[in-house]
Amino acid sequence: MLLLLAAAVTIPLGLDLYLPVPEDNPLTFEKIELGRRLFFERRLSRDGSVSCGSCHDPDRAFSDGRPVAVGVFGRRGSRNAPALVNRGYGRSFFWDGRVRTLEEQVLKPIQDPNEMDLTLQEAAARVNLSDDAIARALASYVRSILSGGSPFDRFVNGDRTALSVEQQAGLQLFRGKANCVACHVGPNFTEEKLHNTGIAWRDGRPADPGAGHGDFKTPTLREIARTAPYMHDGSLATLEEVIEYYDRGGNRSPGLDPEIRALHLSPTEKQSIIAFLRCLHGASH
């Protein structure tokens, strides 16, 4: 069993070698492969038009390039489809962290009327599997999607030429003056906690309450150059807009996280941070 687990995925440079896997759903090639097929299976949606891969496109680090997701019959949701890399390390799922395990998470979009819009019974009948088997396979596939081995990881591992001088300056700002590591920390650039960074706040109230008061989960920054637009509502189109947002200290709001405050970055400093963020792409799958 241990051998199978080690062989089923290779952990890229920079990520935690301990990839947590539930005891009752060990990672196997068979389940990952089945999960991959189900992930791109359009029959898992009411009108046969949408698969998980429609909103989580491998060419965009499993995001979709849209501000908010579009599901069956062109129905629009209210949130941005997040990148799905390194989710095996996640401690909670969805932007508001409302779900605890990947096995539970992967069945939600199938049932969401704005996404795939099937009952679990209908889904199971369409692919001749139990809903439990669907959940285990999809969760295993999602767990196998890993991003590491980026220029940043090679730099930290001792290759001093892996980052340009500008990117190194950006890394220092990221860790220092710009204070990004207050939340985007560790091998996956997230402490997996909820914060009000002010994004949801318009006209004195949160347009989306998230986990309450406009709180959302810190997302990974790996592959970030490929996953625009940004934030839970897709409201920031570019990394430039993201840096401007943080630089001005976010949107004023009650309960704004104390780590969000005006940064007074110079134009060169902003450029360096963006150059650094662009080096977080890995040799993934």
Residues that bind ligand HEC (CB under 6 A): 39, 50, 52, 54-56, 69-71, 77, 79, 81-84, 87, 90, 93-95, 105-106, 109-110, 115-116, 138, 142, 178-180, 182-184, 195, 197, 199-200, 216, 218-219, 221, 224, 227, 230-232, 242, 246, 257, 259-260, 273
Cα–Cα distances in angstroms (integers) from residue 3 to residues 6, 14, 18, 34, 197, in the given order: 5, 22, 14, 20, 43
Closest to ligand HEC by CB, 114 or 164: 114
Minimal distance, residue 159 CB to ligand HEC, in Å: 23
Minimal distance, residue 239 CB to ligand HEC, in Å: 6
State the burial class of residue 266 (Cβ atoms within 10 Å of its Cβ: 0-12, 13-18, 19+): exposed
Closest to ligand HEC by CB, 15 or 55: 55
Closest to ligand HEC by CB, 27 or 110: 110
Minimal distance, residue 3 CB to ligand HEC, in Å: 27
Tokens of 74: 């062109």
Closest to ligand HEC by CB, 159 or 259: 259
Minimal distance, residue 54 CB to ligand HEC, in Å: 5
Closest to ligand HEC by CB, 152 or 216: 216
Minimal distance, residue 283 CB to ligand HEC, in Å: 20
CA distance 146 to 126: 29
Minimal distance, residue 126 CB to ligand HEC, in Å: 12
CA distance 276 to 257: 24
Tokens of 193: 């906690």
Closest to ligand HEC by CB, 152 or 230: 230
The long-range contacts involving 24-27, CB below 8 angstroms and separated by at least 24 positions, are 25/103, 25/136, 25/139, 25/140, 26/1, 27/140, 27/143, 27/144
CA distance 175 to 268: 16
